Amino acid sequence: VTRVLSGIQPTGNLHLGNLLGAILRWVRMQDEAPCTFFLADLHSLSDHIPAEARRTQVRAMAAALIASGIDPKRSTLFAQSDVPAHAELCWILNGTARMGWLSRMTQWKDKSGKNKEGASVALFDYPVLQAADILLYQPSHVPVGEDQKQHIELTRDIAIKFNQDTGTETFTVPEPFVGGGVAARVMSLRDGSNKMSKSDPSDMSRVNLGDSDDEIAAKIRKARTDPEPLPGDPELLKERPEARNLVGILAAVTGESETAILARFEGQGFGAFKPVLAEALVALISPIRARYQELERDTPALDRILDEGAEQAIALAAPTLLAAKRAVGLSRR
């Protein structure tokens, strides 16, 4: 690992899927290599929200990341829109990316649905901006949840084609870095066939960073399960998506293996399992929530952190942006 980069959209609440699939892995990677993390506020333009809400959300997400353990003294933390190189490189890469590649992205297909004519161009071009985000920093690793894998693979295709078309080695071809187990794709608490997501209309489907201890316990108590007792072998959870999800979440939160957990619960029902899971989640989330509520109020401190992060990111991104401009003949120097 030589350089780590990842980002998150600053829309809505941070949830357990974001924490297990991405943020807590970012936190650990800070010990391994220089890290760059950003709030993808340009990406969030594909949803229309009022200006003041967007400003508030960027600060709130910065506070949530710091509360989770992202250390702005060690890592570069910034808002995407403060670093113009992202939008500039996106435009250059629009010359490389193909309509067919973007049309095949599952996120585009899901979010635009049947109304392709009415979808924003930003929603369609979203993966090209994501490629620019990544390629600017030449990262060796991009830690993400499984749902982002397709976008990182597209980034690889764009990098390879750009390097080939220009006969240069402008971009490092990045690797998606997806974790193992349930953490890579945490599922909804209401439906084991849907991923846990910010946009699910049911708040009972996810555990949010802002939930109180009682809310967390209630969400786990009401989480969908099946009537069978727990098996001793994780293989036997394959056809039981809700059970697999809950056992996998406990494993990810405590660091235990699923096998070790099932050895303790074999033959028991969810009445015994759920309180243990709820307690583990409260132990994980309540200290993060407390720090978050503290940090969130200090707007000047958050702005200072984001301003400094932007300055560092501008310097980090400059050489690659210049190299990309030279490779296509946009720089006279």
Residues of the shown chain interacting with ligand TYM in the complex, contacts defined by CB under 6 A: 6-9, 17-18, 20-22, 40, 43, 130, 133-134, 142, 144-145, 147-148, 184-186, 195-197
186, 147 contact by CB (below 8 A): no
73, 109, 114, 195: the active-site residue = 195
Asked whether residue 174 is marked as a ligand-binding residue, the answer is no
CB of 35 to ligand TYM, least distance (A): 12
Asked whether residue 255 is marked as a ligand-binding residue, the answer is no
Select 7 or 265, whichever has its Cβ closest to ligand TYM. Answer: 7
4, 34 contact by CB (below 8 A): yes
What tokens were used for 311?
Answer: 């300055």
109, 111, 238, 274: the active-site residue = 111
Check if 274 is active-site.
no
Asked whether residue 7 is marked as a ligand-binding residue, the answer is no
Select 131 or 305, whichever has its Cβ closest to ligand TYM. Answer: 131
CB of 295 to ligand TYM, least distance (A): 19
Find how far residue 294's CA is from the centre of its chain: 23
- Helices (H), ranges, 95-189: 99-103, 106-112, 121-135, 149-166
Asked whether residue 195 is marked as a ligand-binding residue, the answer is yes
- Burial degree of 305 (CB within 10 A; 0-12, 13-18, 19+): buried
109, 114, 149, 198: the active-site residue = 198
Residue 132: how many other CB atoms lie within 10 Å:
27
Asked whether residue 196 is marked as a ligand-binding residue, the answer is yes
Select 147 or 303, whichever has its Cβ closest to ligand TYM. Answer: 147
Residues in Cβ contact with 36 at an 8 Å cutoff, skipping those fewer than 6 apart: 3, 4, 5, 75, 76, 78, 137, 139, 313, 316
Asked whether residue 133 is marked as a ligand-binding residue, the answer is yes
Check if 198 is active-site.
yes
Task: Using CB positions, name the residue nearest to ligand TYM.
Answer: 21
CB of 185 to ligand TYM, least distance (A): 5
Check if 238 is active-site.
no
Select 147 or 326, whichever has its Cβ closest to ligand TYM. Answer: 147
> How far apart (Å, rounded) are the C-alpha atoms in residues 319 and 137?
9
> How far apart (Å, rounded) are the C-alpha atoms in residues 164 and 328?
12
The distance in angstroms from the start CA to the end CA of the chain is 33
What tokens were used for 281?
Answer: 């989640």
Select 43 or 59, whichever has its Cβ closest to ligand TYM. Answer: 43
Residues in Cβ contact with 146 at an 8 Å cutoff, skipping those fewer than 6 apart: 21, 178, 184, 185
Q: Residues annotated as binding site?
A: 9-11, 17-18, 133, 145-147, 186, 195-199
Residues tagged active-site: 111, 195, 198
Q: Residues annotated as binding site for L-tryptophan?
A: 133
Q: Residues annotated as binding site for ATP?
A: 9-11, 17-18, 145-147, 186, 195-199
